């Protein structure tokens, strides 16, 4: 009887202790939550350089690049939600591209953000040039350098040269040729423009693209004649 | 064939330790990670699935060698199993080689199982399975061979904790060995230069076994690369096993 009483008392004591501990755990978890969600704007201040990150990652560079890329994407998301500015964005992208130089998307996304959100076309082009050095066979890099040079720097000569370079690389094809031809014409290099349209006419499989090339060549060839006729009169 | 019998005995011992659980945990982590993380990785969903899988295979393999191997080598010494075995027509050389073969075969089996699971995950997520993926897995098995030999060497004369610690240190420095050479070139004095260069050649060059980048980005491997690295792994392992046998033959068993 006594032992049963003692047993039931100890069960109650254990039950009470468990209740107190559980309540404490729930309350502290709820209280601590507000601190864990506090905005700490300078999380990325102590990020290592790309070179150090390469050594610290011990051969798991691609995995490390992915992790930093997650941070970069979330950091950009924080900027879009107006939590902070983009002070560390470029640094994050540089670490990603140092860790995994063949990871193409961060160059493209990084350059677009630098050019559009940070209004720094030069830094965007610089990042794309780094991508081009590391991935010389990818047409996307010269194409996007051309695009930023045309849109942002308004340097038609440079833009046309990069578009032509993109057209020479595998995959560049119709789109790069069309852009090169158009920008050469804008830059006043009619001969080069005709040459690019001619290439497009000969290589494209798309009927409307070939029609466009034909019309453009006619127009460009007609222009000097018009000018000559005007000069005569 | 005492080496094969010992290897079989070692493999059976590892399986009793529920080694297959590692494979299952890996499968869950991999599948979970690829589904949870890939939507967050703008523009790199498939790359991240491949990266995480290949890195996880390599990390799990090294962890498995260190956690299982060191304990197993020591247990047989401590429990007197080794003494009982050596009464039979089994030499110490047989024991070292049998133990090495058993550990390596178990780890290789786990690596291949993880690679198969990873291939299913890759297929589901639409990531291409390239030829380099298979080379990456093959080189992970070779790396496991070298790391197992390192563990065998350290286990032949030290406690399991120290053997694990030294093996992890060797793996870390093995992945940094190229930097040692870079440091050697920068040192001004002759002695540090010679020491750093010697360390570079003595330490295992584990960076050679890493073709994960080539697998992820479908890059070309240099001509004769796989062949040369295989030979390097075989000879490096043989040297380590020879040293382990020499040390173990001189050791007294209590």
3-state secondary structure B145-157: HHHHHHHHHHHCC
Q: Is the pLDDT of residue A233 over 60?
A: no
Q: DSSP letters along A153-196, please?
A: S--HHHHHHHHHHHHHSTTTHHHHHHHHHHHHHHTT-HHHHHHH
For residue A7, the surrounding DSSP H or E stretch is helix A2-36
- To the nearest whole Å, the CA of B23 is away from the closest chain A CA by 20
If one counts every other C-beta atom within 10 angstroms of the C-beta of residue B134, the result is 13
As a whole number, mean pLDDT of residues B121-135 equals 88
Closest chain A residue by Cα to residue B58: A60
Alpha carbon of B113: minimum distance to chain A alpha carbons (Å): 21
Compare CB distances from A60 to B42, B55, B217 and report the shortest one's residue: B55
Q: Is A51 exposed, middle or buried (0-12, 13-18, 19+ CB in 10 A)?
A: exposed
Binary contact (B41, A70; C-beta < 8 A):
yes
Q: Which of A62, A69, A105 sits opposite B212 (nearest CB)?
A: A62
What percent of chain A has a predicted confidence (pLDDT) above 90?
20
Q: In this complex, is the C-beta atom of A61 within 8 Å of any C-beta atom belonging to chain B?
A: yes
Q: Please report the number of interchain residue pairs, chain A to chain B, with beta-carbon separation below 8 angstroms.
A: 57
Q: Check if the beta carbon of residue B149 is closer than 8 Å to that of residue B204.
A: no
The SS3 call for residue A8 is helix
Residue A111's closest CA among A68, A81, A141?
A141
User: If we measure between CA atoms, which residue out of A138, A136, A106, A112 comes closest to residue A125?
Assistant: A112
Residue A183 has pLDDT above 70, yes or no: yes
**pLDDT (tens digit per residue) in B222-240:** 888 999 999 999 999 999 9
Tell me how far CA of residue A18 lies from CA of A8, A93, A114, in angstroms: 15, 49, 55
Rounded percentage of chain A residues whose pLDDT exceeds 70 = 88
Contact across the interface for B176 and A58, Cβ inside 8 Å: yes
Give pLDDT tens digits for B39-67.
777 777 888 888 888 888 898 888 888 88
Q: What does the longest C-alpha to C-alpha distance in chain A come to? A: 128
**pLDDT confidence bin for A153, thresholds 50/70/90:** confident
The reply to whether residue A69 touches residue B219, judged by beta carbons under 8 angstroms, is no
Sign of the dihedral through C-alpha B197, B201, B203, B208: positive
Q: Which of A53, A55, A56, A60 to probe the B interface (max B CBs under 10 A)?
A: A60
Q: Do A58 and B217 touch (CB under 8 A)?
A: no
Model pLDDT, residue B121: 85
Measuring CA to CA, how many Å separate B171 from each of A187, A202, B58, B166? 57, 56, 12, 9
In this prediction, residue A227 carries a pLDDT of: 60
Q: What is the pLDDT of residue B142?
A: 95
Please say if the pLDDT value at position A21 is more than 90.
yes
Average pLDDT over residues B187-197: 79
> Among A148, A152, A151, A153, which Cα is nearest to A166's?
A148
Instruction: Give pLDDT, residue A39.
Output: 57
Between CA A152 and CA A123 the distance in angstroms is 11
Mean pLDDT of B190-219: 86
Long-range contacts of A14-18, Cβ-Cβ distance < 8 Å, separation of 24 or more: none
Q: Cβ(A46)–Cβ(A56) under 8 Å?
A: no
For residue B37, the chain A residue with the least C-alpha distance is A70
Mean pLDDT of chain A: 83
Query: A62 touching B, CB under 8 A?
Result: yes
pLDDT at B149: 94
Query: Sorting pLDDT into bands at 50, 70 and 90, what band is B158?
Result: confident
What residue ranges do the domains of chain A occupy?
47-136
**DSSP symbols for B95-124:** HHHHHHHHHHHHHHHHHHHHHHHHHHHHHH
The dihedral sign for the CA sequence B44, B49, B52, B53: negative
The owner of tokens 């080794």 is B82
Residues 6+ apart with CB under 8 A from A69: A96, A103, A106, B41, B44
This prediction has a pTM of 0.79
Give the per-residue pLDDT at A40: 54
pLDDT of residue B71 exceeding 80: no
Rounded (10°) angle between helices B92-125 and B20-37: 30
Q: How does B149-171 read in b/e, with b if 16+ C-beta sit within 10 Å?
A: bbbbbbbbebebeebbebbbebb
Mention every residue, 6+ apart, whose C-beta is less than 8 A from residue A160: A146, A180, A183, A184, A186, A187, A189, A192
Cα angle value A10/A16/A21 (rounded, 5°): 125
């Amino acid at each position: 009887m006594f032992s049963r009483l003692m047993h039931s008392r100890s069960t109650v004591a254990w039950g009470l202790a468990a209740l107190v501990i559980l309540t404490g755990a729930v309350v502290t978890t709820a209280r601590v939550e507000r601190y864990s969600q506090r905005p700490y704007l300078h999380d990325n201040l102590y990020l290592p350089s790309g070179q150090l990150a390469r050594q610290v990652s011990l051969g798991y560079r691609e995995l490390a690049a992915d992790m930093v890329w997650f941070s970069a994407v979330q950091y950009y998301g924080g900027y879009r939600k107006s939590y902070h500015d983009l002070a560390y964005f470029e640094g994050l992208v540089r670490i990603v591209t140092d860790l995994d130089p063949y990871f193409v998307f961060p160059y493209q996304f990084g350059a677009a953000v630098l050019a559009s959100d940070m209004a720094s076309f030069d830094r965007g082009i610089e990042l794309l040039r780094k991508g081009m050095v590391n991935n010389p066979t990818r047409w996307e890099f010269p194409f996007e350098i051309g695009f930023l040079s045309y849109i942002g720097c308004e340097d038609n000569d440079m833009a046309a040269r990069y578009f032509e370079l993109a057209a020479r690389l595998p995959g560049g094809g119709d789109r790069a040729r069309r852009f090169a031809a158009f920008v050469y014409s804008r830059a006043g290099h009619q001969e080069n423009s005709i040459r690019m349209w001619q290439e497009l006419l000969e290589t494209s499989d798309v009927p409307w693209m070939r029609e466009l090339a034909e019309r453009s060549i006619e127009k460009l060839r007609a222009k000097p004649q018009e000018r000559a006729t005007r000069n005569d009169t | 064939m005492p080496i094969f019998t010992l290897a079989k005995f070692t493999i059976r011992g590892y399986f009793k330790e529920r080694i297959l659980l590692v494979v299952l945990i890996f499968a869950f982590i991999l599948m979970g990670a690829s589904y949870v993380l890939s939507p967050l990785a703008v523009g790199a969903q498939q790359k991240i699935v491949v990266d995480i899988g290949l890195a996880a295979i390599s990390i799990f393999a090294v962890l498995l060698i260190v956690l299982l191997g060191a304990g197993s080598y020591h247990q047989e010494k401590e429990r007197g199993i080794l003494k009982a075995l050596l009464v039979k027509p089994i030499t110490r050389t047989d024991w070292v080689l049998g133990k090495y073969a058993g550990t390596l075969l178990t780890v290789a089996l786990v690596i291949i199982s993880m690679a198969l699971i990873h291939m299913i995950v890759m297929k589901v997520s639409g990531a291409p399975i390239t030829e380099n993926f298979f080379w990456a897995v093959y080189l992970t098995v070779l790396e496991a061979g070298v790391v197992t030999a390192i563990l065998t060497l350290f286990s032949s004369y030290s406690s399991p904790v120290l053997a694990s610690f030294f093996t992890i240190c060797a793996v870390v420095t093995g992945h940094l060995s190229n930097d040692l050479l870079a440091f050697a070139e920068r040192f001004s004095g002759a002695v540090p230069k010679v020491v750093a260069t010697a360390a570079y050649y003595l330490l295992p060059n584990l960076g050679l076994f890493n073709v994960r980048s080539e697998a992820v980005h479908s890059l070309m491997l240099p001509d004769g690369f796989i062949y040369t690295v295989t030979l390097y792994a075989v000879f490096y392992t043989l040297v380590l096993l020879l040293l382990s046998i020499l040390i173990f033959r001189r050791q007294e068993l209590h």
